Amino acid sequence: MSGRFDDSRTAVAHAARRLAAEGLLIGTAGNVSVLVDGHVAVTATGAALAEVTLAEVTVVDRDGSVVAGELEPTSELDLHLGVYASHDATSVVHTHAPAATALSCVLDELPCIHYQQLLLGRAVPVAPYATFGTPELASSVVAALEGRSAALMANHGSVTTGPGLDKAVENALLLEWVCRLYLDACVLGMPRSLDTDQQAAVITAAVERKYGSTRPRTEKET
Ligand SMILES: [Zn+2]
Query: How confident is the model over 97-128, as pLDDT tens digits?
Result: 999 999 999 999 999 999 999 999 989 999 99
Torsion of the alpha carbons at 63, 69, 74 and 75, rounded to the nearest 10 = 60
Asked if the model's pLDDT at residue 221 lies above 60, the reply is: no
- Compute the distance between CA of residue 203 and CA of residue 163 in angstroms, rounded to an integer: 19
CB neighbour list of residue 202: distance below 8 Å, 6 or more residues apart: 115, 118, 194
- Give every CB contact of residue 6 below 8 A, 6+ residues apart in sequence: 54
In the residue annotation, 76 being an active-site residue is answered as yes
22, 15 contact by CB (below 8 A)? no
3-state secondary structure of 100: helix
Question: Which tens digit of pLDDT belongs to each residue from 21-40?
Answer: 999 999 999 999 999 999 99
What distance in angstroms lies between residue 6's CA and the mean position of ligand 1's atoms? 25
Distance from the alpha carbon of residue 153 to the mean position of ligand 1, in angstroms:
9
Residue 50 alpha carbon to ligand 1 centre in Å: 16
The protein residues having their C-beta less than 5 angstroms from ligand 1 (an ion) are: 157
Q: What separation in Å is there between the alpha carbon of 200 and the centre of ligand 1?
A: 33
Model's pTM, two decimal places?
Answer: 0.93
